[in-house]
Amino acid sequence: MISRFVRTAGLLLALAVCASSAWAQQRQVTGRVMSATGEALPGASVLVEGTALGTQANADGRFAIMVPSGQVVLVVQNIGYRTQRVVVAPGESSVDVRLEVDVLALDEIVVTGQATSVSRRNLANAVATVNAAELERVPSETIEKMVQGKVAGALIETNSGAPGGGVQVRLRGVSTINAESEPLYVVDGVIISNVAIASNANAITSASGGSNASNQDAPVNRVVDINPNDIESIEILKGASAAALYGSRAANGVIIITTKRGRPGEMRVDVTQRVGMFTLSNKLGSRKFETVDEVYAAFLDPEEATAADSAFFENLYGDGTSYDYEEMLAGRNDVSTETAFSLRGGSDATRYFVSGLVKNDEGIIPNTGFQKQSIRLNLDQRVGDRVELGVNANVIHTFAERGLTNNDNSGTSFYMVLPFTPNFVDLRPGPDGTYPENPLERSNPLQTAALLDNDEDVWRLISGANATFDAIRTERHSLRFRVTGGVDYFAQENEIFSPPELEFEDDDGEPGTSLLSNSDNLDLTFQATAVHAYTPASGAFQATTSAGLQYEDRDLNIARIVARNLVAGQRNVDAGTNRIVFETRERVKDLGLFVQEELLALDDRLLLTAGLRADRSSANGDTEKYFLFPKAAASYRFDELPGILDAVKLRTAWGQSGNQPLFGQKFTALDATNNIEGLPGLVVTGVAGDPNIEPERVTEIEGGVDIELFGGRASLEVTGFQKTIDNLLLQRTLAPSTGFGLQVFNGGEMRVRGLELGLQAVPVQNEDVMWVSRTTFYADRSEITDLPVPAFETGGFGTSLGAFRIEQGKSATQIVTNLGIDPETGEVIVGPVGDAVPDFRMGFVNDLTFGPFNLYTLVDWAHGHTVVNLTQFLADAGKNSADFDTDVRPITLPDGKVVQAGTGERRLIRWSDFADSRPYMEDGSYVKVREVSLSYALPDGFLDRVFGGALRSARITASGRNLLTFTGYSGLDPEVSNFGNQPIARNIDVAPFPPSRSFWLSFDVSF
């Protein structure tokens, strides 16, 4: 140990001597960094090309840097501006630099490892970046919706229209069958939780049976808590070749969120006030009954109906008045508001960013909505010229009212009841506010919406601290150490109160239900890195070596209480005479070690990268075993090309990442809800764990070309990739003699191939007009290449209603269903009917600035995917679909009988008499106008006259989200997933929360 210390000290001393010698031959160069309009750019970086020397501009944009005595080249960079290289002659001591806006972000700095970054011009992977300007166009409760349609390779869809989110993100296709399917989220170096905790509405709906929480409870994924106004940029590492250094949690990609920070200079205050509303954007419609005879024909069997039955329906029909219950249920358009502010400023030593948010989105259904309050402090402090400290603290409170939607087996969910309730039935409340009972169903949806509470209350703290030490900083060497620690803690409370007076509550003899779930989640992150950069005297290359370790501790505890038969209708769970308690506890500890080498050579045209991550986790069977995830990448840039070409970059990358087993898959679970003669007992659940369980492994190779054209006015990015997922987490059937039905194990293989295109251009750019256009294209195809178990179905409700089948040689997201009856065998034929993944997806962004006006539009196009439309099936089964009796035609039944049937009835006959479910497997292609905004910047002269120079700027914006949808899909919305954020079983439409569009008027001012 002593000898090692002596050697290390000697090395540092030698480097220090070299440094002193080098500094003796240097001179000082001063200058100022400004924008093209002459505005100072504080924080701009100034580097000496071919060396490890660098500095930053101060609050006035001024800088001073020591450079070698001869001629040097300064590389000047600033976020949002084009990089500029400035030649400084041997006798020159002062330079001023003006940077042009980087409209197409060709020179932006992109993360390449845990602690390193590189200019996009040299990047070897297709990493997508979304900046603050693109996120702030149209308000939304969650950042995922703000990224929809803007990133090639990202399939982002909402699970339903419920307030508070519920979004599924899939990067570069499906990556698993039974493991985690969401990307890893990192905020300012802190890994945060995006867990979706179900509300336990299943105890009322019985969607999946029993009282346990279900993935059909429409849970909210917790990224919704982040304040989008705080975000500076989002970087999306879409594949394993880019995300390998995040190891066994990066198989689904990594989303790196960087929040805004202070800048040297005068304090800037930004305030935004938004006022808007949400409105119902689509309806299913319902059948119109013109006469009471049509009612008799629909709901009465002429051979069995009695006079009392006829009188019953005649009384219900009354004078034939019809009611638009979709409008009554979801036609609310109360005012929504959002107030956001931020303070940003500081000195060269101390920088701060403070922000706050108060948001209230009113839902379109009574007793629904979403509220968010957030406050953030980002503080950076330099201590001397070698140490920098940083602190981030974000306290968030969200409150979501979710209503009661999605599948149920109890006749309680809104859109499960409406299909079986003809529009002539009067469900409106009486003068005293009392709701009538629904004579045809177990519940009155208007009553349920008015009286049932389904609330989710979350308090969250995301905080981190970091320290950076520049140990060595010479012309040839730099060595930086960085330590980061972070905590993500949230307490989530779900309360559902179904009062005794609800119609369905008395059916079980236990009127009134109160559900309480308390969840606590604590994620701890610690990371230590060292980054060494070396540039030889020749300046031929720059080598950057980084190494470090990362530790995570994730602890989730969920306790649920179900109370029925509430005494005096009290909502406390202790007021129920029948109480059931559940608890789930999960804790996982991870340790990762990583190293990476980057080599930039040949006048910054060639980039070579290699890295390795070693991970171990308590979720694995062997908690001490390290799993290795390597990566390698290369890019070469051809500059100064003839004609319209500015540059062409060829790139390729290869890498591996993993997907950890879900918590507990290595154990055989025990169920403590049983009793033996009144005594508590534990029994096994029937699924055996695997003590040797390992992470799934994704191996990806990508290649592409990036082209810059027309003097930086256009760029094209083309990427093709193939990823192979092996060691899949599967289940196999065990012999009955083992006492278990299934066992989790590793096996099998899946492959995904895809193509990504990104085209961006500035067709018009002058003093008065700037038009920026961006187009993205994405397509992928998956295939199960090896399956060591027989083909099986996952998700869905059986082949008669559409199911997802995992089968060797077929797509991992294929949908199979009943196709009819084999005339020879009389058996039902089951086969593929479509795929949940679109054939392709495109996004079209146009950003037009003309004088003080700006017009922004985003159009999102998904083509060629299948949706299982069981909401339509329910409406047909209730003989209540809008087209049930339209376009009446003859249809011959299997027994030869010919009947006259309308469109909806023919669908139902195909399903019931012919065992053909294809009428309910629909093309879900759509084109959505995702975002539109029109803004006007008030002239500076006007602001000076009215406010006396107190305002820097002011802007008025009118905007909207999801304004138009063009689709042939007959359901409420083709963007739907009854089972929430599942790896495979998506695109199932069962009575979802209806979609909405939003309109906003915003006022932005800066002081």
Tens-place pLDDT, residues 616-625: 999 999 999 9
pTM value is 0.92
Question: Would you say residue 230 has pLDDT above 70?
Answer: yes
pLDDT of residue 36: 83
Strand boundaries in 18-103, DSSP class E? 26-35, 45-48, 54-56, 62-68, 72-77, 84-88, 94-99
Number of neighbouring beta carbons within 10 Å of residue 575? 16
Q: Are 404 and 395 in contact (CB under 8 A)?
A: no
Q: Are 238 and 778 in contact (CB under 8 A)?
A: no
166 — pLDDT class (breaks 50, 70, 90): confident
pLDDT tens digits, residue range 97-126? 998 888 887 878 787 767 788 888 888 998
Share of the chain above pLDDT 90, in %: 72
What mean pLDDT do residues 572-586 have? 92
Q: Length of the chain in residues, anyone? A: 1007
Average pLDDT over all residues of the chain? 91
**Bridge partners for 715 per DSSP:** 708, 760
Q: Which amino acid is at 765?
A: Q
Number of neighbouring beta carbons within 10 Å of residue 856? 21
Q: Which amino acid is at 30?
A: T
pLDDT of residue 303: 83
The three-state DSSP-derived secondary structure of 895-956 is: CCCEEEECHHHHHHHHHHCCCECHHHEEECCEEEEEEEEEEEECCHHHHHHHHCCCCCEEEE
pLDDT of residue 770: 94
**Do β-strands 866-869 and 953-967 pair in parallel, antiparallel, or remain unpaired?**
unpaired
CA 466 to each of CA 10, 273, 724: distance values in angstroms, whole numbers, following the listed order = 29, 33, 36
pLDDT of residue 1: 41
Question: Would you say residue 69 has pLDDT above 90?
Answer: no
Tell me phi and psi for residue 181, to 5 degrees. Answer: -115, -5
DSSP label of 746: E
pLDDT tens digits, residue range 836-884? 999 999 999 999 999 999 999 999 999 999 999 999 999 999 999 999 9
pLDDT of residue 825: 92
What is the distance between the alpha carbons of residues 937 and 276, in angstroms, rounded to a whole number?
A: 20
Q: Of the candidates 794, 1000, 965, which has an alpha carbon nearest to the alpha carbon of residue 161?
A: 965
C-alpha atoms less than 13 angstroms from C-alpha of 241 in its C-beta half-sphere: 25
What mean pLDDT do residues 215-235 have? 91
pLDDT of residue 676: 67
What mean pLDDT do residues 246-266 have? 92
Question: Would you say residue 2 has pLDDT above 50?
Answer: no
Q: Of the candidates 504, 502, 466, 500, which has an alpha carbon nearest to the alpha carbon of residue 486?
A: 466
* Angle of the 292-299 helix axis to the 307-317 helix axis, nearest 10: 130
pLDDT of residue 25: 63
563 — pLDDT class (breaks 50, 70, 90): very high
**Bridge partners for 195 per DSSP:** none
Question: Would you say residue 11 has pLDDT above 70?
Answer: no
pLDDT tens digits, residue range 421-468? 999 999 999 999 999 999 999 999 999 999 999 999 999 999 999 999
pLDDT of residue 210: 67
DSSP calls for 348-371: SSEEEEEEEEEEEEEPSSTT-EEE
What mean pLDDT do residues 509-537 have? 95
CA 115 to each of CA 118, 484, 536: distance values in angstroms, whole numbers, following the listed order = 11, 11, 22
Tell me phi and psi for residue 506, to 5 degrees. Answer: -90, -5
Question: Would you say residue 250 has pLDDT above 50?
Answer: yes
What mean pLDDT do residues 718-729 have? 96
Share of the chain above pLDDT 70, in %: 96
Of 163-172, 835-844, 881-890, the one with minimum mean pLDDT is 163-172
**What is the rounded radius of gyration, in angstroms, for the C-alpha atoms of the chain?**
31
pLDDT tens digits, residue range 398-414? 999 999 999 999 999 99
Question: Would you say residue 219 has pLDDT above 50?
Answer: yes
**Do β-strands 335-346 and 350-362 pair in parallel, antiparallel, or remain unpaired?**
antiparallel
DSSP label of 797: S
Question: Would you say residue 185 has pLDDT above 60?
Answer: yes
Question: Would you say residue 493 has pLDDT above 90?
Answer: yes
What is the distance between the alpha carbons of residues 877 and 875, in angstroms, rounded to a whole number?
A: 5
Strand boundaries in 727-787, DSSP class E? 729-733, 742-746, 749-765, 769-786
Q: Which residue has the tokens 């972070």?
A: 486
